[in-house]
Structure 1
Amino acid sequence: MYVRKSLIKLAVVTAIAGPLLSAGDVRADPVTELKRLNDRFNEAVADHDADAVLSLYADDTIWIEQGKPAVEGLAEPRKLFEFVTANKGDVTHSIDTLFVSDDGTLAVMIGSVDAKMESVGMDATGTYLFVLKPSGDGWKVVTDMWHQHAR
């Protein structure tokens, strides 16, 4: 479901991500661009290209992994994506909900994850949440929070 929400409905996220926003970074068609970002994520993982996945992230991304404190930067995402790509992982994101602020300076993408890595015996599902902001070359993930579902 793709939904355009008012800033009031995004108050909590805006309070968290407010310092990350810049009024000059507004996109013409954010929904299309955000769907394309998700496609590029899936394509990069399918191509086993960790650098291409990481190119979708801001350098100061806040990474929130289950069971660990939040960290800033690309070191932890790099570890995960290099592990996934080195093990020929098949990770697919689908978008379940997409919120874009009325002024186009903030987006929240929530979706499902299917992760399979035969070499390590993984066949899992999960949920992810991206906070995104526009940048000069498209949208960038500025916060990535995810968890694996219990079986």
Structure 2
Amino acid sequence: MNAKPSVLFVCVHNAGRSQMAAGWLRHLAGGSVEVRSAGSEPAAQLNPVAVEAMREVGIDITASTPRKLDHATAEASDVLITMGCGDACPVFPGKRYLDWQLDDPAGRDLAAVRQIRDAIKARVEQLLTELPVHTG
């Protein structure tokens, strides 16, 4: 494992769920975790409703862009968290895998995306209790 653990969030478009999860982990981990996100079929831009939902809680994810999942990024990550990418996610021995069943925010209104955002936050908070991080 690296000096600090690395977490890769993967969803299909890398425009909503994985970007919100990465935003939460960056915010809550305070630099103690290397955060990555990618998609099996990345969108052209972030989901604007996901951006707004995160902005409401003081987290700006607008600097992020959807990225294509590649072998090297997955291999270099300690924990891979999938969110609906199915068989497109590579499997590497010795990695920790989690599959978070979350609704896709694509095409949903702000009220629905807020619920997804809050569910992601709870999962990220739980993940932080399981990672070997030093935040204090």
Shorter-chain TM-score bucket reads under 0.3
TM, length-normalised to structure 1:
0.23
| Structure ranking higher on relative contact order (CA contacts 8 Å, 6+ apart) | 2
Decide which structure has the larger Cα Rg and report it. Answer: 1
Which structure shows the bigger proportion of residues in strand conformation? 1
TM, length-normalised to structure 2:
0.25
